[in-house]
Copies of this chain bind each other. A is one copy, B any other.
Amino acid sequence: MSTAHASDTIPTTVDNANLQELEDTVSRLASHKGVQSVMILNRAGDMLVSRQAGPEAAKFAKQLLETASAYLTSLSEDDEISFLQIRSKQHRELMIAPHEGYLLAVLKR
């Protein structure tokens, strides 16, 4: 996948210790009531860890973040997303939170 959004300060690979930490985070979140899927992507949009989330979900998350980032950048050059949330009529809730070098996405219902 494209690494156009990766920078020197943002890891695109994870070592084993970090990966275990990400796995633990995903497991913890996935055990919450109503959580349908959880994924952690790197800033390039590559899936690092997931539960019940396929490549389609990663693609949509990446597209959403790119559009939202482009909008924020048009308002102020160095602004960044802190949280993105979508609620649906069928009570789905998608939350995406950038966290250090990673993007965490949770789908609830």
Per the bound structure, the CA–CA distance linking A77 and B47 in Å amounts to 25
Per the bound structure, the CA–CA distance linking A60 and B94 in Å amounts to 19
Per the bound structure, the CA–CA distance linking A94 and B76 in Å amounts to 14
Say whether A31 faces chain B, with CB atoms less than 8 Å apart: no
| A residues contacting the other copy or chain, number (CB 8 A) | 29
Per the bound structure, the CA–CA distance linking A89 and B63 in Å amounts to 19
Say whether A24 faces chain B, with CB atoms less than 8 Å apart: no
A 71-101 to B, binary, CB cutoff 8 A, 1 in contact else 0: 1101110111111111111101010000000
When distances are taken between beta carbons in the complex, the residues of chain B under 8 Å from A64 are 64, 67-68, 71
Q: Can you pick out 17 interface pairs between chain A and chain B where the beta carbons lie within 8 Å of each other?
A: A60-B67, A60-B74, A64-B67, A64-B71, A68-B94, A72-B86, A76-B92, A79-B90, A81-B87, A81-B88, A81-B89, A82-B89, A83-B86, A84-B85, A84-B87, A85-B85, A85-B86
